[in-house]
Structure 1
Amino acid sequence: MSEDELADVLRYSSPDTIYIITWNNLLKKLFCPFRVVVKHQIGELEKCEVVWVDSVKVTVKLKTVFMVKGRAYYYDHFEILDPD
C-alpha cells in the first residue's frame, strides 16, 4: 500500500470512535473511552482484567490498535464489553 493510499484510508478513521458488529448483526458506533476485557495476560495487563480503551489507532498494515493506560495493544487481545 502506498503512502497516498494509506492517507486516503486514514482520512476516514478517528482515534475517538470504533464501529462494531453486535451478536445480532447490528452496527454500533462506540466512543472512547469504552471498556474491554483482557483475553490473556499481555504486558502489564492481567487476564480477565477490565480496562478502558482511551483511543483507537491503526498500524501501517491497517491493524487496529487500542491505547490502554498509555500503551498500544492489538485489538485481538481484548473482548469489547457490551455498552448497553
Structure 2
Amino acid sequence: MNTEDLAWQLKFSSSQSIFIVTWNNLLKQLFTPFKVAVLRPVGLLNKGQVVWVEEVKVTRDLKTVFVIGGNAYYYNYFEILID
C-alpha cells in the first residue's frame, strides 16, 4: 500500500472510536476510553486483566492497534467488553 492509499483510508477513521458488530449482529460505535480484557499475556499486561483503551490506531498494513497505558498493542490480544 502506498502513502496515498493509506492517507485515503485513514481519512475515514478516528483514533477516538471503533465500530464493532455485537453478538446479536448489531453495528455499534464505541468511543474511547472503552474496556477490554487481555486474552493472553502481552507486554506488561496479564491474561484476564481488564484495561482501558485510550486510542485506536492503524498500522501501515491496516492492522488495528489499541493504545493502553501509552503503549500500542495489536487488537487480537484483547476481547472488547461492552455493556
TM-score range, shorter chain: over 0.9
Unaligned runs of 5+ in 1: none
Please give the root-mean-square deviation of Cα atoms over the aligned residues, in Å: 0.5
Secondary structure at the residue paired with 1:4?
helix
Unaligned runs of 5+ in 2: none
TM-score (norm 2): 0.98
Q: Deviations over 1:24-79 (max 9, x none)?
A: 10000000000000001111001000000000000000000000000000000000
Is 1:81 paired with 2:42?
A: no
Secondary structure at the residue paired with 1:41?
coil
TM-score (norm 1): 0.97
Partner residue of 1:36?
Answer: 36
The number of residues matched between the two structures is 83
Identity %: 57
